[in-house]
Amino acid sequence: MTLYYKLRTIYLSYYLLAIASSIILISVLGSINIMYIKMDGNDGTVILEMALVSAASISFLFTVLAQRKPTYVFSFFVLGTLFQIIFMIFKIS
């Protein structure tokens, strides 16, 4: 948990810069995930997988646009990024 608190402190101290860079990061991760999903074909699970990946990105973007508290924004960023990375690992393997 100390890594989480250190990252949160850095994120909150450079909040405006961190928002811009985190939007770029989560968008790139989502795009890479969509690319891996579409490489598998067009069966029924593709739409569900794309919806899950999009929901992870949209949840973070919603907290930014809704101007929630910075701690909420950071929490949604961490959760969205972890979901994107874990989903990417499952799709690659």
CB neighbour list of residue 79: distance below 8 Å, 6 or more residues apart: 56, 59, 60
- pTM of the full structure: 0.85
Q: What is the pLDDT of residue 72?
A: 92
pLDDT at 24: 94
Distance CA 59, CA 73 (A): 10
Render pLDDT for 38-58 as a digit per residue (tens, 0 to 9): 887 788 888 888 899 999 899
Count of domains for the chain:
1
Q: Which range marks the domain in which residue 47 is found?
A: 2-92
- The per-residue pLDDT for range 71-85, each reduced to its tens digit, is 999 999 999 999 999
In 3D, which of 41, 39, 25, 37 has the Cα closest to residue 82? 25
